Amino acid sequence: MKIPWPSIAKLGIVRDVKDYLLPLNAWTEGRGIRFQDEGIVRSKGYQEVMQGCPVAPYWLLHAFDLARESHWLVAGLGKVYDYSAGGYTEITKLATTYGAEEDTIWNGGLLGNIPVLNNGRNKPQMWAPIASATRLVDLSNWPATHLATVVKPFKEFLFALDITEGGTRFPHRVRISHPAAPGSVPSSWDDTDPTKSVYAKDLSEYAGGFVLDCQGLGPYCIVYKEHSTHYFQFIGGANKWKNDVIFDKIGILDTHCVVPFAQNAQHFVMTGDDVIYHNAQAPTSILTKRGRRWLQANLSASTYKRSFCVHNEAEGECWFCFPTEGSSWPTLALVWNYRENTVTYRELDNVSFISGGSVQQSVGDTWDTDVDSWDADLTPWDTFTHPPFITRLVGAKPTASKHFHFDMTEQADGSNFRAYVERTGLDAIGVTRDGEIIRNREAMRFLRRIYIQAQGAPFDVWIATQQENDGAVTWQNEGTFTPGSDQFVDIGRSTKLWGMRFESQANASWTIEGLEPDIEPLGEY
């Protein structure tokens, strides 16, 4: 009996619920795939870009100069470089070696079109104008005796967090600059000057830990502590800024663990024990009953401070990138597709940071280089696949002084990678006259075959058998499915519970659009 399977891309990967209790169209494991356009798609990989980096890169920021030429600011721990026009130029402040550290690296952003960098050990830096011949300098008008753990732009202001003033640390302090005139940086940080809009506030009324990060959200700058979340809104006049607590029990894991998305109308946040999104109102968990406990168990307890979030705008995704236990740098990304509301996972190669920007390069196949068949070839023809107006992701790998351009090619830095999706604990056994799928965990069934609707390159099909709800799972490779040629894969085995896995390690993409297992009950059910 053919069983018409529910929408296979609807629920994504769910880890924290027993497999046999899940809806049939949820998946229990996977790597290197996306749930997209009602199908399961093998994700693209990444390739090295900006070759020849002269320093171990830890942090990146993209900007355009006044001629609309692309620049990548590449920050090591002690030195900073500009990558533009195909080469690197050092732009470190003259006669300086910075003191950035691996657990905190750098932070900052673009104030107008002026890059501002901060590492917590040196005075904040600025790069104006953006040009290879321009060196970084200390941020103009920054107080001589101050250091800040975080400095971030918000509209025409700069926010400084967790500040050391004259040798005394104020870990709850938020200091906001006077607004900067267009094309310049703030003229004052003096909150005692009544002619300026400078503001300082210690968020110490809540037991929320230290101030860790901030990010704009529409008219608000959201400030995150370890266990609480606050907003600041500029109102002008004598009061200058309005601020209050948003969440008094929810904060952030560490700096870099928040990113805006949806035209800056939402925040994606790793709170420390959950991944949420919010619009300055009630938070929504992405992981409740989908993988919260699994994430807590696999996040490295010793290097978690090196985690970060990034927005993959082109694919409608937010990534939480984190080191797993035993890893020094992030080796896995939890990927939330906010268009589909699905969770997947992809492997990372010890990246310290990923930033969005423009990587202009002509890519794609030519007649001489293309080795795929017409049916399997999904790559473009010699064209700009990532034009300058589309933001794409570039990551830094400090242990190899490399940069990776994500969602490029079908390989991972020149090597094939394993992509797979699997589900165990399936108990579908038949269909009622009304088309409703019948589920039964106790009855035996005969798995005759599985029909697959797919396109692209071939992939392997594995089938699992299981005799008890929490019993051992036995996998067997049933062969290779070739889209356009095959319609089904024969199985021919008896079991109570069963599972399926689709995987490949070849340099080619595929998409699964639908499934239809053929199952025969053995006895009454």
Neighbour count for residue 7 (Cβ, 10 Å): 11
- The percentage of residues in the chain with a pLDDT greater than 70, rounded to a whole number, is 94
For residues 456 and 463, is the Cβ–Cβ distance under 8 A? no
Which residue is it, tokens 């400078």? 198
C-alpha closest to that of 47 among 420, 405, 380:
405
Tokens (6 digits) for 401: 């002084």
Per-residue confidence (pLDDT) for residue 238, from 0 to 100:
86
Tokens (6 digits) for 186: 């703030």
For residues 411 and 45, is the Cβ–Cβ distance under 8 A? yes
Compute the distance between CA of residue 143 and CA of residue 411 in angstroms, rounded to an integer.
48
Alpha helices in 170-270 (DSSP H): none
Q: What are phi and psi of 168, to 5 degrees?
A: -105, 130
Q: Which helix (H) or strand (E) holds 298?
A: helix 292-298
- Neighbouring C-alpha atoms within 13 Å toward the C-beta of 11: 19
Compute the distance between CA of residue 23 and CA of residue 6 in angstroms, rounded to an integer.
9
pTM for the model: 0.93
Per-residue confidence (pLDDT) for residue 297, from 0 to 100:
95
Tokens (6 digits) for 254: 């560490």
Tens-digit pLDDT profile for residues 329-343: 999 999 999 999 999
Compute the distance between CA of residue 194 and CA of residue 269 in angstroms, rounded to an integer.
36
Angle at 253 between CA 74 and CA 393, to 5 degrees: 35
Distances (CA, A) of 468 to 13, 254, 442, 465, 478: 22, 42, 8, 10, 22
Neighbour count for residue 166 (Cβ, 10 Å): 8
Residue 58 has pLDDT above 90, yes or no: yes
Tens-digit pLDDT profile for residues 457-508: 999 999 999 999 999 999 999 999 999 999 999 999 999 999 999 999 999 9
Per-residue confidence (pLDDT) for residue 386, from 0 to 100:
43
Give how far the C-alpha of residue 404 lies from the chain's centroid of Cα atoms, to the nearest Å: 14
Radius of gyration, CA atoms only, the chain: 26
13 DSSP β-pair partners: 27
Average pLDDT, the chain: 94
